[in-house]
């Protein structure tokens, strides 16, 4: 198959590998991994005309849109107008990620289960009252913020006054602010694939947003993630995963009713298991970075075929090997607040390596200002998968850090204890 791939991160490097096709790439930066796998590539900021021209010349079987940015900019709408099929939702459908107000209203309108108590505000009027009313809450901007916009009361926001100030600030640059009940529990990602009529779930994965060990420090794009060989998580039962799948199926159907368009792409639910059951925190309209790296490397099906089935609305069940995976990101010292770019040297390793924010120059590989490279260990048990990933990140030379604790028994036990405590 001929595929046009849009995007330049570790997520897209992993997608490129899984597609295993005649690949044409459109990237903002020179990702050495994607370059190596591509028959031809264009390095450019996203310019729809330029993308369209490239796409027309190649005439791919389909275009795969990796990140959320181009979805919001209408890359799919534009490519479709040129009669290029796409794996990825149109701008209107991508609102399931790009507008948390749209997402919450959709859940309410179609009576979809699993929504926390929440209210959408277009002005500061009534926000104060609502915050006092629900007592424990989070404040969410209505728009893409690279995972850095949500603030939690009692954690990032110390008082109602501070929370009101933050809401006012958000309303200056966003149409809406969403105030929602603060939930306590364990989060999991369930990345589903949708062709608009059928939905196929993948396996649950747990991400780690905080920069430092033991979930301390600022939020990041994600420092790493794991999945277990039994296709569950240590705190998660089969019925919890099925609940997430059911909510997502309802969302897929509601999206069609609401827009009259079929959703073709990823519907990734960010769920939290609470003592009251599974609740939905957010949807993403693309694969997770890092979470895609826990699923595609152990996929049993042919990935390009899955994508082409999505385009043709003939999606079938997706199956995975009974393996555990651990992904650890190596990031520049100071990330995410004041990252220090510098040289990076990656020795041979047993782990899979996916490049992210790096620049390949004549004298070697350089980190830029974001997550540099991801290392994925795959094995029959989570212990062995963790060891493979850990050995790999330890060998990396450069001014970097990573989270040692991801995928370790100690951290897994802590998650299980947390859930037990909540249920008591």
Ligand X SMILES: Nc1ncnc2c1ncn2[C@@H]1O[C@H](COP(=O)(O)OP(=O)(O)O)[C@@H](O)[C@H]1O
Interface residues toward Mg ion, by CB under 5 A: 270
Candidates 156, 182, 197, 246; binder of ligand X (CB under 6 A) is 182
- By CB under 6 A, the count of residues binding ligand X is 17
Residue 128, classified by CB atoms within 10 Å of its CB into exposed (0-12), middle (13-18) or buried (19+), is: middle
422 touches ligand X by CB under 6 A: no
Q: In terms of CB distance, is 19 or 356 closer to ligand X?
A: 356
Closest contact distance (angstroms) between CB of 339 and ligand X is 19
Q: Which positions ≥6 away from 123 have C-beta within 8 Å?
A: 171
Q: In terms of CB distance, is 187 or 258 closer to ligand X?
A: 187
Closest contact distance (angstroms) between CB of 201 and Mg ion is 18
**CA end-to-end span of the chain:** 53
**Token pair of 75 as six digits:** 């890359």
Please list every residue from 110 through 149 that binds ligand X, using CB under 6 A. 116, 138, 140, 145, 147, 149
Closest contact distance (angstroms) between CB of 278 and ligand X is 13
Interhelix angle 10-19/303-311, nearest 10 degrees:
90
Alpha-carbon distance of 79 to 287, in angstroms, equals 20
334 touches ligand X by CB under 6 A: no
Choose from ligand X, Mg ion, none: what does 187 bind? Cβ within 5-8 Å by kind.
Answer: ligand X
Q: In terms of CB distance, is 189 or 408 closer to Mg ion?
A: 189
Closest contact distance (angstroms) between CB of 65 and ligand X is 18
* Strands 62-65 vs 86-87: parallel, antiparallel or unpaired: parallel
Closest contact distance (angstroms) between CB of 47 and ligand X is 26
Closest contact distance (angstroms) between CB of 117 and ligand X is 9
Q: Which positions ≥6 away from 305 have C-beta within 8 Å?
A: none
Choose from ligand X, Mg ion, none: what does 416 bind? Cβ within 5-8 Å by kind.
Answer: none
Q: Do 304 and 270 form a contact (C-beta atoms < 8 A)?
A: no
Q: In terms of CB distance, is 27 or 183 closer to ligand X?
A: 183
Q: In terms of CB distance, is 33 or 88 closer to ligand X?
A: 88
Q: In terms of CB distance, is 282 or 383 closer to ligand X?
A: 282
Give the residue from 68, 103, 104, 109 showing the smallest Cα distance to 89. 68
Closest contact distance (angstroms) between CB of 150 and ligand X is 4
**Token pair of 212 as six digits:** 């430092």
270 touches ligand X by CB under 6 A: yes
Q: Which positions ≥6 away from 260 have C-beta within 8 Å?
A: none
82 touches ligand X by CB under 6 A: no
Candidates 152, 164, 311, 422; binder of ligand X (CB under 6 A) is 152
> In whole angstroms, how large is the CA radius of gyration of the chain?
21
**Quick one: how many helices (H) and strands (E) in the chain?**
13, 25
Q: In terms of CB distance, is 49 or 423 closer to ligand X?
A: 423
Q: Do 76 and 86 form a contact (C-beta atoms < 8 A)?
A: yes
Q: Which stretch binds ligand X (CB under 6 A): 70-78, 179-187, 238-246, 364-372?
A: 179-187
Give the residue from 356, 352, 359, 364 showing the smallest Cα distance to 392. 352
Taken as a whole, the chain contains a residue count of 424
Torsions phi, psi for 350 (to 5 deg): -75, -25
Closest contact distance (angstroms) between CB of 142 and ligand X is 10
Please list every residue from 205 through 224 that binds ligand X, using CB under 6 A. 209
Candidates 157, 183, 251, 331; binder of ligand X (CB under 6 A) is 183
Closest contact distance (angstroms) between CB of 36 and Mg ion is 30
Q: Which residue is nearest to ligand X (CB)?
A: 282
Choose from Mg ion, ligand X, none: what does 182 bind? Cβ within 5-8 Å by kind.
Answer: ligand X
Q: In terms of CB distance, is 244 or 377 closer to ligand X?
A: 244
Q: In terms of CB distance, is 198 or 209 closer to ligand X?
A: 209
**Token pair of 327 as six digits:** 């992904």
Alpha-carbon distance of 400 to 112, in angstroms, equals 43
SS3 of 137, please? strand
Q: Do 38 and 27 form a contact (C-beta atoms < 8 A)?
A: no
Alpha-carbon distance of 13 to 19, in angstroms, equals 10
Q: Do 298 and 230 form a contact (C-beta atoms < 8 A)?
A: no
Could you list the beta-strand ranges (E) of 155-264.
177-181, 186-194, 199-201, 206-207, 210-212, 216-219, 224-227
Candidates 170, 266, 278, 281; binder of ligand X (CB under 6 A) is 281
Query: Which residues contribute to the site for ligand X (CB under 6 A)?
Result: 116, 138, 140, 145, 147, 149-150, 152, 180-183, 187, 209, 270, 281-282
């Amino acid at each position: 198959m001929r595929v046009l791939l849009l995007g330049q991160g570790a997520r897209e490097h992993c997608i490129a590998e899984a597609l295993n096709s005649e690949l044409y790439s459109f990237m903002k930066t020179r990702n050495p991994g994607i370059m190596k796998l591509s028959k031809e590539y264009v390095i450019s900021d996203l310019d729809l005309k330029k993308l369209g021209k490239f796409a027309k010349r190649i005439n791919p079987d389909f275009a795969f849109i990796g990140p959320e940015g181009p979805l919001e900019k209408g890359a799919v709408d534009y490519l479709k107008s040129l009669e290029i099929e796409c794996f990825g939702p149109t701008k209107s459908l991508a609102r399931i990620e790009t507008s948390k107000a749209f997402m919450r209203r959709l859940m309410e309108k179609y009576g979809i289960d699993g929504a926390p108590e929440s209210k959408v505000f277009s002005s500061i009027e009534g926000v104060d009252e609502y915050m006092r009313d629900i007592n424990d809450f989070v404040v969410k901007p209505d728009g893409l913020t690279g995972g850095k916009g949500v603030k939690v009361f009692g954690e990032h926001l110390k008082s109602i006054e501070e929370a009101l100030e933050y809401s006012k600030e958000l309303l200056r640059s966003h149409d809406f602010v969403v105030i929602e009940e603060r939930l306590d529990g364990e989060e999991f990602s369930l990345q589903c694939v949708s062709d608009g009529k059928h939905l196929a779930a993948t396996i649950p994965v747990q991400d780690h947003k905080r920069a430092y060990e033991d979930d301390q420090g600022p939020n990041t794009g994600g420092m790493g993630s794991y999945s277990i060989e039994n296709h569950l998580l240590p705190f998660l039962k089969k019925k919890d995963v099925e609940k997430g799948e059911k909510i997502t199926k309802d969302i897929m159907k509601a999206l069609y009713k609401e827009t009259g368009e079929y959703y073709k792409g990823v519907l990734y639910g960010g769920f939290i298991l609470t003592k009251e059951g599974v609740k939905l925190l957010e949807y993403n309209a693309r694969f997770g970075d890092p979470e895609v790296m826990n699923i595609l490397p152990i996929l049993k099906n042919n990935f390009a075929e899955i994508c082409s089935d999505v385009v043709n609305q003939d999606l079938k069940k997706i199956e995975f090997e009974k393996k555990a995976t651990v992904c650890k990101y190596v990031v520049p010292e100071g990330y995410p607040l004041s990252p220090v770019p510098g040289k990076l040297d990656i020795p041979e390793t047993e782990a899979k390596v996916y490049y992210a924010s790096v620049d390949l120059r004549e004298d070697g590989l350089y980190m830029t200002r974001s997550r540099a490279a991801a290392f994925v260990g795959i094995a029959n048990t989570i212990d062995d998968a963790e060891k493979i990933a850990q050995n790999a990140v330890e060998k990396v030379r450069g001014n970097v850090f990573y989270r040692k604790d991801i995928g370790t028994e100690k951290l897994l036990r802590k998650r299980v204890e947390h859930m037990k405590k909540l249920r008591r």
